[in-house]
Structure formats: C-alpha cells, structure tokens
Homo-oligomer: A and B are copies of this chain.
Amino acid sequence: MEGLTPRQEEVLDFVLEALERRGYPPSVREICDALGLSSTRGALRHLEALERKGFISRASGARAIQVRDTLRGAAAYLPLVGEVPAGPLRHASEEVEEWLPVPARWGGEGRFLLRVRGESMVGDGIRDGDLVVVDPGPEARDGEVVVALVDGEATVKRLRRRKGAVELEASNPDYPTLRVEKGEAEVRLAGRVVSLLRDRV
C-alpha cells in the first residue's frame, strides 16, 4: 500500500474523526471547511488519492465515503442483557442495557452478551464481571463452555456428557459440579459461550 502525504493523512484523519464523533461521514464541503480549502476541487483531489491508494472507497450519493476495514474494522453490535433472552432481541427491546460494539466476526444470529457473576470458572480464564458472547441454542458438544439456566438462573459452566446425564462442571475446586439427569425440566441450555470481553484487567 502506498504511503500518504501529510495532507492526505489530514483528510483521512478528519473523515475518521467525523465518523467517530457523529456517526456519519463528512461531505466534500465539510472537508474543505476543516482543512481551510476554498475549493471543492482540492478536497476532491485528496479523496481521489485516498481512494486510489486503497484507504477509502466512494459510492455515488452524498457523504458516500466508506473506510477500508483494516483502518476501521467492521463492528457487530451485540445486546448486553441482564437475563437470558427468550429469542432474538429487537433493537427497541427494553431488556437490553446497551448494544456494544464488538469485532464483526463475533456477530451472529441472536447472539447476546451476558455478564458473568461469580468465580466458578476462573480455572478456564472466565472471571467475575467478564462479558461473555453467547451463541444461543439448545445444543452443545461435550467439553464446550455453555450458559445454562438452572431454576431460571443463568450459569456459565463446561458441559460434560456422561452416561445417561450431563454435568455442568465448574473449573474452580471451590464450586460443585452440577449433575443433570436427562429430562430434568428445571435445567436447560441457553447457548454456547464463544467469545469474551473483560472491561478491567
């Protein structure tokens, strides 16, 4: 990838800053205003250079600037919930505390974020206060880390399949493993834990 001149870099920084500040790209004239240019042709030359060098692309239409993914990685927005939802959440859903940006590759149908409570899984590097990304569904393979609902309460555990039962295994010796006989109604699987965010190390 070709390098940028200082002026081109200024334009790129402005575009990224506008996106971050207000959520939509600047117009050609706004770029002029920001860089002290009196002619839109000047700003357009810079945009053309940025596009030629692969930093942005431009569609037709007003403010149709798209920044290359390696410069501003695509995000998915996952809902942080207090309780395991019954199905995919609507954007306007009031169960959601906030929709948090995560790398786009963490996205998927119906995925949500849940805050871990307790230290039962510290042996697997999952700590109190962590946010886990949950891929919802009633199935998981032996050995996977899951969110299960036990008497309506969500718990994060490793699933172990045993003859005639499954076990929800803690990875902290201070916590018990829960054995679940087949068909027990008050235990169900909410989904698999696929990724994790830790706000504070």
Task: List A residues 88-147 near B (Cβ within 8 Å).
Answer: 90-92, 94, 96-106, 122, 124-127, 130, 132, 145
Contact residues in B for A145 (Cβ distance below 8 Å): 201
Rounded to whole angstroms, the CA-CA distance of A127 and B13 in the bound complex is 34
- A162 on interface, CB distance cutoff 8 Å: no
Are A71 and B91 in contact, CB atoms less than 8 angstroms apart? yes
Q: Which residue of B lies closest to A194 (CB)?
A: B201
Given known contacts A77-B72, A100-B73, A125-B198, A61 and B27 CB-to-CB distance under 8 angstroms: yes
Q: How close is A123's CB to chain B, nearest CB, in angstroms?
A: 9
Min Cβ gap A128→B in Å is 10
Copies of this chain in its oligomeric complex: 2
Residue A24 CB within 8 A of the other chain: yes
Tally of A interface residues using CB under 8 Å: 64
A63 and B24 contact, CB distance less than 8 A: yes
Which of A15-23, A40-48, A180-188 forms part of the interface with chain B?
A: A15-23
Per the bound structure, the CA–CA distance linking A106 and B195 in Å amounts to: 17
Bound: A28/B19 CA distance, A: 20
A191 to chain B, nearest CB (A): 12
CA distance A25 to B62 in the complex (A): 10
On whether A132 and B201 interact (CB within 8 A), knowing A75-B75, A91-B12, the answer reads: yes
Q: How far is the CA of A72 from the CA of B75 in the complex (A)?
A: 10
- Interface membership of chain A positions 31-66, coded 1 if the CB is closer than 8 angstroms to chain B and 0 otherwise: 000000000000000000000000100010111111
Knowing A195-B199, A195-B200, A196-B201 are in contact, say whether A99-B125 is a contact too (CB < 8 A). Answer: no
A197 near B196: Cβ-Cβ < 8 Å: yes
Residues of chain B within 8 A (CB-CB) of A105 are 199
12 CB-based A-B contacts, threshold 8 Å = A9-B91, A23-B66, A24-B66, A27-B62, A70-B96, A72-B101, A75-B101, A125-B127, A125-B198, A194-B200, A195-B197, A196-B198
